[in-house]
Amino acid sequence: MIRRFLGRLANPQVGALVGVLLINWLLFPNFFRVTWQDGRLFGSLIDVLNRGAPVAILAVGMVGVIATKGVDLSVGAVMAVAGAVAATLVVAGYPAPVAVVVALAVGFACGLWNGFLVAVLDIQPIVATLVLMVAGRGIAQLITEGFIVTFTDPVLIFIGTGSFLGLPMAAVIALVLMVLVTLLVRRTAIGLFIEAVGINRRAASLAGIRSRMLLMLVYALSGLCAAVAGIIVAGDIRGADANNAGLWLELDAILAVVIGGTSLLGGRFSVPLAVVGALIIQAMNTGILVSGFPPEFNLIVKAGMIFIILMIQSPFAVRLLPPGLLRRAASRGTEK
Amino acid sequence: MVPAGSTLAGTPIESALRRHGQEGRLDGDRLALEARGITKVFGNHVALDAVDFGLRAGEVHALLGENGAGKSTLIKILTGAYQPDGGMVLADGVPISLESPQQAQAHGIGTVYQEVNLLPNRSVAENLFLGHQPTRFGLIDRRRMERDSRAILARYGLGIDPSSELGAHSVAVQQIVAIARAVELSGKVLILDEPTASLDRNEVERLFEIIAGLKSSGLAIVFITHFLDQVFAIADRATILRNGRLIETRALDDLTRTDVVRLMLGKDVAFSGATKLEESRPLGEVLAEFRGYGRKRSVHPFDLTVHKGEVIGVAGLLGSGRTEMARIMFGADVADEGTVTVAGAAVAITRPTDAIARGFGFCPEDRKAEGIFGELSVRENIVIALQGKLGWFSALNRDEQLEIAGKFGEAMDIRAASLDMPVKLLSGGNQQKVILSRWLATDPAFLILDEPTRGIDVGAHAEIVRTINRLRDEGLALVVISSEIDEVVAYSSRIVVMRDRELVAELNGENINPGVIVQAIANHREASPA
């Protein structure tokens, strides 16, 4: 049991995360120092968890979408919508739980809309979700009437900045979501069906899988996760910024999923590894910040990382590998 | 024949070229287009082996053959899309080089494909003149283009507005526009590749009138189709290819439909003694009854009663509606006519899940595109239909999956190093066994198998035929589509014959015999209906 668990940890993604953390440690010797203060943990490592949480949550939703050979470009905009809904409701005097539930429902509905376009109208996912990517920010601006809506509601602020058992609330939420979604897809047949639809939708339909329902579900889940991330980000800045909340985060989420080993061509996927992918991205961001490099380097390093990963996954690189290697890896995978 | 320094020198292909090349063939006919000893090799697969093909001006020449016979390779060489590895092409007796489709066009060779490859969102006139628009002061002379278009369209009996969008017209009209364009541009040879595949009967007649007109104006026309009736209706001569070899070129007046089918399938089946010797067993109870079941432009309404414990073989040429019949029976396509009763109750089968719920299973013809999930494991590929039946929330756990996959994998003798290896690493025959196991795991009552033995090795072939017999003995109903007539004869208790999208005959008892089947495929009037 323990060996199986350790075996699962021995994969390229976890290796890459450890590598990035070690580089950070070389550049900034205090990187691994964690202190206890005011009932919560502090340190660069905790910062990675806290700051990485929104993208990790987006990745939890995105990974299912990408596994079906789709993509959800709207998650950044849905974050802004959910944040705007939650902020506007608490400012209007509604209790925080109501605001949160309504914001989550709005995110879920946004996802259903994407799922409807993709599954029922058969629009290509990249175009279908582009609609909401553009429209979402407009909707968020209409909700906030063009202002940054600030609030002082303690519950929302706690969701964004509080801590639980010493860990940042955002990281705890991300962890819980990761576990719940992993259980949802792996303890039911949903994960297998998602992979089947992503690999061969025609064969899936002939094998009796209702791919429409399934697609609706994965896009709705992605919308729901985006709403969670949106509420966290709003709580963190104590306000809803329709223009900037979640800006470009859809790209980080896609990157996290791809780093996590899920191909954009659909198929095999892993929710925890997508979260590890998000942590790798955040560890790079934090590392560059704390080591004193100008933040401009961030984008260059990230681009370099994407390039390396795409190179490794490209058919070109696969051809360079000795042919026996893949076969051996495949048979080794069976001994688990 | 073979150019000096050719890579083929000294090979069997080269000697084949020599053999064919030396044969005197000038029989006084003036050939508008001639291919001599054309050989084309892909890797170590010989797609065309020293094929001769002669096309006279003013004839309609049918090019016939089953899938993989080499028809499309030959056409691609004649239109400059492929370069031959041996042999030569001559126009009016002069060798020509065809290194690109443009060159073929310059030599007067025009092609129209099944899917109209014009621009649906541009006007009819633009499509007619695309690439060679009349210009005035360096700009496109739209008025002249439309005036000329109107004249051209009138010649083809089309009274449509040349400025209208092409996509707004029916496929038949688009097809005619494509022909008009090809004739205007090329003007000597017209190659029609399955032009009637998506047309209805009236549209086909209209197209034939146009073809007859072009023929009488001296155009040489190559006509490729799967519909034998159309071949006999319009063509003067036929060339039959099989496995990349020229079998026969002959005037159709000298051929019967039976001859043509026999030549295409390559078995001297009329004299084959593979008549069914098995005792006729009593039919089991009725499992499913299809009445007037059909789908427009796909398969004509048919009646079929399926009993428990029988194998119904479906014979017919490619494109005869075999696969379409299987697909509507399984709900992969929706029938728009007719009724189906399963176990005495009328049911609606509008998608595969409906069929699966009634105990149906379906192994599709195109294993790779519609059957397997390449990256998923053998285990997952086997359990997926059963899991689909169980639904999202009654997941089989890993051990249950292994047990099921192991049980059915063993029964089917799947040769896999491990049940957890990706199915795409298995051979075609083993993949087919995986798909069969997938359905057997659902405990089916009725299996529809579309070409279950195509393209698989001998061992797997035998295993699948054994399985078909075993399942029939266990009381399952099976419908098996196959191009292998001997095979169909061997395991079928009853045979239905498809021709031109229609179920034309049902054969029982002594009539389950290759000769009768070939006749039925060729012409239902010669066969005795059940």
Residues B224-257 have pLDDT tens digits of 887 788 888 899 999 999 888 898 899 988 888 8
A212 lies in the same domain as A303: no
Region B184-203: mean pLDDT is 81
CA B305 to each of CA B104, B288, B480: distance values in angstroms, whole numbers, following the listed order: 52, 6, 14
The range of the structural domain enclosing residue A309 comes to 296-327
B356 touches chain A (CB under 8 A): yes
A99 lies in the same domain as A204: yes
A248 lies in the same domain as A311: no
CB B222 within 8 A of CB B55: yes
Question: Across the interface, do B420 and A206 touch by the CB < 8 Å criterion?
Answer: no
* Structural domain contains residue A201: yes
Question: Across the interface, do B390 and A207 touch by the CB < 8 Å criterion?
Answer: no
* Structural domain contains residue A29: no
- Distance CA(A82)–CA(A65), nearest Å, equals 20
* Structural domain contains residue A31: no
Fold of B12-268: Rossmann fold (3.40.50)
A189 lies in the same domain as A203: yes
Q: How high does pLDDT run on average in chain B?
A: 83
Domain locations in chain B as residue ranges: 12-268, 269-275+284-359+444-530, 372-443
A261 lies in the same domain as A319: no
Region A35-53: mean pLDDT is 89
Q: How far is CA B148 from the centre of its chain?
A: 38
Burial of B157 (0-12, 13-18, 19+ CB in 10 A): exposed
A206 lies in the same domain as A319: no
- Distance CA(A35)–CA(A48), nearest Å, equals 15
A190 touches chain B (CB under 8 A): yes
- pLDDT band at residue B367, thresholds of 50, 70 and 90? confident
What pLDDT is stored for residue B308 in this prediction? 92
CB B310 within 8 A of CB B472: yes
A-B Cβ pairs (cutoff 8 Å, strict): 89
- pLDDT band at residue A254, thresholds of 50, 70 and 90? very high
B385 touches chain A (CB under 8 A): yes
- pLDDT band at residue A156, thresholds of 50, 70 and 90? very high
A277 lies in the same domain as A219: yes
pLDDT digits (tens, 9 = 90+) for B444-483: 999 999 989 877 776 788 888 889 999 998 999 999 998 8
The answer to whether B12-268 and B269-275+284-359+444-530 have equal CATH topology is yes
Question: Across the interface, do B420 and A333 touch by the CB < 8 Å criterion?
Answer: yes
Give chain A's domain count. 2
Longest dimension (CA), chain B: 83
Element (H, E) at A40: strand A40-42
Residue B480 backbone phi and psi in degrees, to 5: -120, 120
- Distance CA(B48)–CA(B246), nearest Å, equals 9
B399 touches chain A (CB under 8 A): no
Nearest residue in B to A328, CA atom: B421
B334 touches chain A (CB under 8 A): no
B395 touches chain A (CB under 8 A): yes
B353 touches chain A (CB under 8 A): yes
User: So what's the ipTM on this one?
Assistant: 0.85
What pLDDT is stored for residue A37 in this prediction? 86
Closest Cβ opposite residue B389 in set A202, A208, A333: A208
- What's the CATH number where A128 sits? 1.10.3470
pLDDT digits (tens, 9 = 90+) for B129-187: 887 777 777 788 888 888 888 888 888 888 888 888 888 888 788 888 888 888 888 78
A145 lies in the same domain as A279: yes
pLDDT digits (tens, 9 = 90+) for B101-117: 888 888 889 888 776 67
For domain B269-275+284-359+444-530, give the CATH number: 3.40.50.300
What pLDDT is stored for residue B195 in this prediction? 82
Which position has the higher pLDDT, A143 or A332?
A143
* Number of alpha carbons in the 13 Å side-chain half-sphere of residue B242: 12
A78 lies in the same domain as A195: yes
What pLDDT is stored for residue B175 in this prediction? 85
CB A13 within 8 A of CB A277: yes
A304 lies in the same domain as A268: no
* Structural domain contains residue A26: no
What's the residue count for chain B?
Answer: 530
Token duo for residue B128 = 């007619």
pLDDT digits (tens, 9 = 90+) for B480-519: 998 878 888 888 989 999 988 889 889 888 888 888 888 8
- Distance CA(B120)–CA(B110), nearest Å, equals 19
Collapsed DSSP state (helix, strand, coil) of residue A10: coil
Is the pLDDT at B269 greater than 70, yes or no? no
Which residue of A68, A182, A192 is the best one to mutate when testing the B interface, meaning the one whose CB has the most B CBs within 10 A?
Answer: A192
Please list every residue in chain B whose beta carbon sits closer than 8 Å to the beta carbon of residue A188: 392-393, 395
What pLDDT is stored for residue A3 in this prediction? 63
End-to-end alpha-carbon separation of chain B, Å? 54
Q: Which of residues 174-193 of B touch A (CB under 8 A)?
A: none
What residues contact A11, with CB distance under 8 A and at least 6 apart? Answer: A261, A273
CB B430 within 8 A of CB B438: no
Token duo for residue B420 = 């957890």
pLDDT digits (tens, 9 = 90+) for A280-312: 989 988 888 887 777 777 778 778 876 776 676
Token duo for residue B403 = 């047990």
Token duo for residue B493 = 């208790």
Is the pLDDT at A241 greater than 80, yes or no? yes
Tell me the percentage of chain A whose pLDDT exceeds 90: 61
A207 touches chain B (CB under 8 A): yes
Give the number of other Cβ atoms within 10 Å of residue B361's Cβ: 28
CA distance B351 to chain A (A): 8
A314 lies in the same domain as A212: no
Which has the minimum average pLDDT: A224-228, B189-193, B365-369?
A: B365-369
- Distance CA(B149)–CA(B161), nearest Å, equals 9
- pLDDT band at residue B41, thresholds of 50, 70 and 90? confident
What pLDDT is stored for residue A109 in this prediction? 97
Most confident stretch, A32-41, A212-221, B147-156: A212-221
- Given its phi and psi angles, is residue A277 left (phi above 0), alpha (psi -120 to 50 degrees) or beta? alpha
CA A298 to each of CA A59, A290, A304, B304: distance values in angstroms, whole numbers, following the listed order: 20, 12, 10, 68
Which residue matches tokens 């990035």? A20
- Distance CA(A68)–CA(B285), nearest Å, equals 43
